[in-house]
Structure 1
């Protein structure tokens, strides 16, 4: 869990409390502020969850690629050359 997820959850909770107080007091403005804070908190939490998900899926792939390059430098250079030629041919329309 990262800080965005934690802060988003806290903001969402604070918004729920503010909306509840606004409802109890009959204050429409406070209710609206509470709903807005909930939306902001949910958005921040979703962003934090996405960051965590990317870290858990992409980082291992990057680490594997780095290890492959370190273990097999010539094969990596050849693979890079083949991919470069394929990209150039694709861009040239062949």
Structure 2
């Protein structure tokens, strides 16, 4: 599990507690602060999930590049050349 997922969940819980205390105390400032903390925690948690998904998606490519660095370099060079040929030259 990603660090941002854990920190975001803790931040969201703390925000929800702060909002509940604000509700009980009828303190609008505390309610708003708690709602903001909870929203920030949800955003941080979402970022953590996105990071984990990217890491999971790229893990096979990174593993291949570590096992076969020259082949990975050749593939990257070929892909770069193809992209340059397709998009690099501008018509006069």
> After TM superposition, is the score higher than 0.5?
yes
Match of 1:23? 23
Partner of 2:82: 86
State the shift of 1:83 in Å: 3.7
**Which residue pairs with 2:4 in the alignment?**
4
The alignment's C-alpha RMSD in Å is: 2.4
What is the alpha-carbon distance in structure 2 between the residues aligned to residue 54 and residue 80 of structure 1?
Answer: 19
Query: CA 1:19/1:67 → structure 2, altered by over 3 Å: closer, same or farther?
Result: same
Unaligned runs of 5+ in 2: none
After TM superposition, the score normalised by the length of structure 2 is: 0.79
Paired positions, count: 90
Larger Cα Rg: Structure 1 or Structure 2?
Answer: 1
Q: Which runs of 5+ in 1 are unaligned?
A: none
TM-score between both structures, scaled by the size of structure 1: 0.77
Task: Please list, as runs of the form range in 1=range in 2, the aligned pairs for 1:1-94 lying within 5 A after superposition.
Answer: 1-69=1-69, 77=74, 79=75, 82-90=78-86, 91-92=88-89
